[in-house]
Amino acid sequence: MSYPLEGIRILELGQIIAGTYGNQVLSDLGAEVIKVEPPEGDLGRIPSVGPYRGLSALFLTLNRNKESIVINLKSEAGRALFYDLVKVADVVVDNFRPGVLERLKIDYGILSRINPRLIQCSVTGFGAAGAYKDYPALDIIIQAISGHMAITGEPGRPPVRIGIPLADLSGGIYSCKGILAALFLRERTGKGSRVELSMFDAMLHLLGYIGTLWLTAGVLPKPPGSSHDYTVPWQAFAAKDGYLVVATRQDGFWKKLCGVLAEPGLAEDPRFETNAGRVENRADLVPRLERIFRTRTVADWLARLRAAEVPAAPVNNLDGAFAEPPVAEREMVVEYEDPEVGLVRLPGNPIRISGMAGTISKPAPRKGEHTDAVLARLLRLSASEIAALRAEGAIA
């Protein structure tokens, strides 16, 4: 096996993050991803978003391995050309606002008649129908309304956005899952299907057991900082030269931690013998631990804690994170040579499948870079036919 999705062709109408990230993941697994951009291009190309040498680091990252063609779907000739591409595609992905597919006449009802095996996936903010369907669905909007910002940050402080655009990324996380499931279903039935997901739904799902506790027991969480409502100690501690986290989920780890800390009376204190007792008495315990951890450097503590098999880690910034041994061991940095900005180094593919070759890493495309080549390869159009389409504004 080379790549498990070789032979799968995806037409990407998606833009920025929610409609592109999932397809980048699928491209790492071998799928052919063709960006079908409007004449103005993917909004993710705006260089003010993660600026790097006049280009967008966001675009350079999320469009690795893809080809770009420009089709004006608002023109009849452009739409007819897109229909021809649909005939030879497996998946069409978009993150348009509800109603746009219908206005452009590329909704599932139309496309599935052209290609009954087609899978069409739409990433929306709040769903294709309902009271909120037309609400703006920017990442911070979804993070706020889904409850994530209310439980992120330090107690008593203003709400905090998660450090990555998780709501946008959730569109990609769940869209590629949905596409893979639909491809598997097609293997069983021979028929395509419509995949629709909302970022709001995805973020609710990512609440996990926190959501369950509210829905089932009425427990309304508060922002815990780095600490844990149900386990103590499980948080960041300041050392002499930085921060480290310690996580003692089982009481056995607590005993090992006490051995490392060598604090007289700590291990023998009956209030701290069990996790339930430590949670109940955290106001007494945590300040003692904070005082102890300030006495040594992060490296000193990590050496001692790891030797005792106590779960601990440094609080890295990205310089530290990408210097950790698993990054090189698991080839989690890939690179490509971009014709405009030169060498681009970026996070690699985390999915490992036995027999799969190494990570594919081709440059993010220039706008419309592959228009002529794709139309000639997939639709067998001649140079004169492509020139005619360009002259009438169907492609650019």
Q: List the catalytic residues.
A: 228
Supply φ then ψ for residue 24, to 5 degrees: -65, -40
Encoded tokens for 136: 């703006």
Q: How close are the terminal C-alpha atoms of the chain, in Å?
A: 37
HEC string of 102-114 equals HHHCCCHHHHHHH
